[in-house]
Amino acid sequence: MNKTTPTYHWGPEADFLVIGSGVAGLRAAIELSQYGRVLIITKGSRRQSNSAYAQGGVAVALSDEDDVNLHFSDTIKAGHQLGREDAARVLVEEGPSRIQELIAWGTQFDKVDGKFAFAKEGAHSRNRVLRAQGDATGHEMIRVLLERAKKQDSIRWFDHHFTMDLLMVDGRCCGAIVVNETTGSLQVLSARAVIMTTGGAGQAFARTTNSPNATGDGFAMAYRAGAILEDMEFVQFHPTSLFLQSSPPFLLSETMRGEGGLLRNRKGELFMVGYHPAAELAPRDIVARAIWSEMAASRARHVYLDVTHLGNSFIKKRFPTIYQTCLRFDIDITEEWIPVAPSAHYFMGGIKAGIDGETIIPGLLAAGEAACNGVHGANRLASNSLLEGLVFGVRAAHSATTCSSTISAKDRQSVLSSLAVEPKRTLDDAEKLRNSLRRLMWDQVGLVRTGDSLGRALAKITAWEPQVLGSLQTRADLEVKNMMQVARCIIEAALWRENSLGAHYRSDFPGCEGSAWKIHSQIQCPESERLTPTPKLKIV
Ligand code: SIN
């Protein structure tokens, strides 16, 4: 363990900080650029977000045969009635104009015979999912948002900067503390408001479809600052990701089943009809658990996704990225069944926020996967997340304009000195701890949980936690600390919820749908463990 005392500097001036560069962050920043100076802080490159990984598409009630009420009821039903109706209404009603706007900005959604092509996905009562370049929808949306953001003079970037913590003064969020990933230099950034759009924490599990960036940094930072984390037990496991020893669990879009892809067990039997009337197009939580049961029954590590009957040219045109990626791993999906297994995919829970992104901390807003405004309930309807990022990114931006936390020039020195008290530490082996944690979460806190498995996980984490205490200052170390804190919150929420609902399944409490359980779990960091407060300064 190395120890040195860190030095902090005051960074560039901004009115608004946006942490994260996925759809929610970019859309929020573009909106905010009309109102002041915006700084987008992003770890790694600005292109590495979960949004950019999204294949299937974006759900929106824009087709002739659809309407927002149907989209609303599908969203609430897929969420097992736990979703907040006001948030779901906002999503489906504001979604169409957000998408029209994106089209006007240059997004090329796929068309058939000159009309937008709406695909089918699980639990949608209509064909409602727009896509781009077949299976690269997130990539296309991010391309357009990045181009748009680039044109706004008031937007500046802090790429390759890792946000270590929020800057909390007198109970308000007044900015953030960041470390430059290349030089290690530490900066304090102050702003009227901070919008957290850091996405989820799929990387807390050994198998995930998420980008390597999804380490729950926003959840952990907000938690340490005193925000409430809500519904953390609801982690969506995507039913179909590639299962090969040689490959990461690459996502195989639900739209493959929407186009007629079939799930087969080890013996080659179609099994979904035995689990749900909608078979392959049942809600995601049901398909993922059905796969899990088939795997357990046949002691197999995967099942198969069969698209071979869809035809060679259709597959190559409709799923070009998936086709090419599988081919790289020596699987020709036009001829072979694809080995698939579930993987952690999306967090329905997160930083508790209202429909305008507001949290309980003045000056802190949250949007996208980082936020939990209750729109998804216990299980997200497929392809609702890109829409969520657009709709709630804009709303959080509008809220941010009403915030006014700033630190006066004369108080800045005291902030800097209060930060530079704890000697800097580094972890002995961040990689090892990270891998052990991910394995533990997958084995004990995955698709099927019990009180015993959760208890075992909690005991392990309690034993590991002392290792991540103190002033860690590299991205690798801080990510492990954040993942560990998020893991504890998931486990505590999952222990508390002694029933099974949506994506949260406890085999010791398999019963579900009891109205007594239509409540939300909430976790807040004990006051004594929150961020060391900066001195009581006057906020002007
Ligand atoms: C998929 O294409 O299956 C992922 C889309 C989503 O998570 O909504």
Q: What are phi and psi of 238, to 5 degrees?
A: -75, 135
Q: What is the DSSP letter of 306?
A: E
Strand order in 228-230's β-sheet?
371-372, 350-352, 228-230, 522-524
Cα Rg of the chain (Å, integer): 22
Residue 116, classified by CB atoms within 10 Å of its CB into exposed (0-12), middle (13-18) or buried (19+), is middle
Two tokens at 143?
A: 């391309």
Would you say 204 and 486 are in contact if contact means Cβ atoms under 8 Å apart? yes
Locus of tokens 């699987």: 331
225, 19 in Cβ contact below 8 A? no
pLDDT the model gives residue 206: 97
Cα–Cα distances in Å, from 211 out to 55, 197, 339, 345? 13, 14, 21, 10
Classify the C-alpha dihedral 333-336-342-348 as positive or negative. positive
Q: What's the gap in Å between 253 CA and the centre of ligand 1?
A: 6
Architecture of domain 10-234+348-409: 3-Layer(bba) Sandwich (3.50)
Fold classification of 426-516 is: Methane Monooxygenase Hydroxylase; Chain G, domain 1 (1.20.58)
Contacts of 262 (CB under 8 A, 6+ apart): 270, 272, 280, 305, 306, 307, 309
What are the 10-residue block averages of pLDDT along the chain, 540 residues in total? 74 96 98 98 91 90 97 97 97 98 98 95 95 95 97 97 94 95 95 97 97 97 97 98 92 95 97 97 95 96 98 97 96 98 98 98 98 97 97 98 84 84 88 98 98 98 95 95 98 95 95 75 92 52
Q: Which of 124, 255, 386, 388 to mutate to test the pocket of ligand 1 (most atoms within 8 A of CB)?
A: 255
Cβ atoms of 271 and 293 closer than 8 Å: no
Torsion of CA 340, 344, 348, 352, to 10 degrees: -170
**In angstroms, rounded to a whole number, what is the distance separating the alpha carbons of residues 160 and 27?**
20
CA gap 480, 476 in Å, rounded: 7
**Is any ligand 1 atom within 6 A of the Cβ of residue 54?**
yes
For residue 291, which of 208, 77, 280 has the smallest C-alpha distance?
280
Q: Which is the closest atom of ligand 1 to the Cα of 380?
A: 8
Structure tokens that stand for 55 in this block: 């294949």
pTM score: 0.96
The pLDDT value recorded for residue 410 is: 76
User: Ligand 1: which residue has its CA nearest to atom 2?
Assistant: 56
Identify the burial level of 246 via C-beta atoms within 10 angstroms of its C-beta, where 0-12 means exposed, 13-18 middle and 19 or more buried: exposed
In the chain, which segments carry CATH 3.90.700.10? 240-343
Determine the angle formed by the axes of helices 385-400 and 85-104, rounding to 10 degrees.
90
Q: Show the DSSP H helices in 17-160 as ranges.
A: 23-32, 50-53, 68-78, 85-104, 137-150
Domain 240-343 has CATH 2.40.37.10: no
What pLDDT sits at residue 218?
98
What are the angstrom distances between the C-alpha of 470 and each of 176, 427, 482?
A: 18, 10, 13
| 253 C-beta closer than 6 A to ligand 1 | yes
Separation of 284 CA from ligand 1 center, angstroms? 10
Nearest CA to ligand 1 atom 6: 383
CA distances for 63 relative to 98, 118, 283, 376, angstroms: 15, 7, 21, 22
Residue for token digits 């329905």?
Answer: 348
Return residue ranges of the chain for CATH 1.20.58.100: 426-516
Q: Any idea which residue has 């893991």 for tokens?
A: 487
Please report, for residues 219, 245, 345, 349, the alpha-carbon distance to residue 233 in angstroms, rounded to integers and kept in the order given.
13, 28, 13, 7
Which tokens go with 175?
A: 């900015």
Catalytic one of 84, 98, 192, 284: 284
Which atom number of ligand 1 is nearest to the Cα of residue 386?
8
Q: What is the pLDDT of residue 246?
A: 84
Let me know if 284 is a catalytic residue. Answer: yes
Query: Alpha-carbon distance 137 to 143, whole Å?
Result: 10
Amino acid found at 126: R
Please tell me if the CB atom of residue 383 comes closer than 6 angstroms to any atom of ligand 1: yes
3-state secondary structure of 314: helix
Q: Which are the contacts of 271, defined by CB distance < 8 A and separation ≥ 6?
A: 263, 264, 265, 290, 294, 303
Ligand 1 lined by 137 (C-beta under 6 Å): no
Q: What is the pLDDT, as a whole number, of residue 321?
A: 95
Cβ atoms of 174 and 405 within 8 Å: the answer is yes
Residue ranges of the chain that CATH labels 3.50.50.60: 10-234+348-409
